[in-house]
Amino acid sequence: MGILRLGYSHVRVTDLAEAKHHYANTLGLYEMKAEGNKVWYKGWDEWDHHSVVLEEGGVGLVKFGFKVQYEDDIADIENKAATFGVKTERFSAGENAEVGDGLRIFTPSEHVFEIYHQMTPVSTEVGTHNPEAFPRHLVGVGVPGLDHALITAPNPKLMEDMLREVLDFYTTEKVVTDLTDDADTMAVWMSPNPSNSIHQLAVLGGPAGKLHHFAFQLDNWNDVGHAADLFSMDDVSIDIGPTRHGITRGQTVYFFDPSGNRNEVFAGGYKSYPDRPMIKWTADQLGKAIFYHARELNERFTNVLT
């Protein structure tokens, strides 16, 4: 099977107390563990121990974790990485809190991906026996869980190849310079095979090792608008939104945590399948592709990275 989904985002923050207020009180994540300069969170509808790790000391991405279905998938991915020419190393249970043995991949984009099978299971907040639709006492936005992430890379096509050949992702949408056969790839949106998620990871042309954003699930337009209201109440810096993407067709608000890491709440979007024809957008339509209503990019969206 291979990759099931994006399991966790581990990011640095400049002030842990400020960050905890943002992720716990505004977004409504549940604190699962705190130790030293780190804190671990999950959303109310997530069943593994955590999906977000905050580490005090700087800004930006430390690493992503991707969960695989079977233990043997780790060795399979290790072999594919060796064939592709990507550096890897094994890590042991206990190196990451509540995470079992796994494989660390050092990507061509200079990001760190951790591949694992086991994480300490916990219950969703509504349980699995005759559950309610949502917890009665949600805090803030009350995000159900982690959705996807976007990183930058000097060579998005090389990252697309690695994700496809090593992790068995497939491309749902991409931005190209033009529609000729030799067009350059500017950005890709990709999902694990055979997931029908519209994307788990996107890669945009840009500096190596940078985080553009990581996103949280919401159900619908109303939830996206409600989240924007709460961001204003809590003086959260909004990048753009509420609006819709052309790419993915999802509804969105982009905003910043107190350290300057960009977050997103994301709802809607169509279901994708490996046999669905890939959608291509050309560079001259990039504004519409990213922000369907305004049809132009704001300067922060492409220049602010952590």
Active site residues: 148, 199, 213, 245, 254, 264
How many Å apart are CA 92 and CA 97, to the nearest integer?
11
Residue written as token pair 């061509």: 108
- Which of 140, 32, 158 lies closest to 86 in space, CA to CA? 158
Residue written as token pair 């279901």: 271
Other Cβ atoms closer than 10 A to 19: 21
Residue written as token pair 């992430």: 149
- Which of 207, 212, 204 lies closest to 59 in space, CA to CA? 212
How many Å apart are CA 115 and CA 104, to the nearest integer?
6
Q: Show the tokens assigned to 283.
A: 């560079």
* 247-252 contacts, C-beta under 8 A, 24 or more apart: 247/173, 247/175, 247/189, 247/279, 247/281, 247/289, 247/290, 248/172, 248/173, 248/189, 248/198, 248/199, 249/198, 250/198, 251/218, 251/220, 251/221, 251/224, 252/224
The 8-class DSSP code of residue 183 comes to P
How many Å apart are CA 99 and CA 95, to the nearest integer?
8
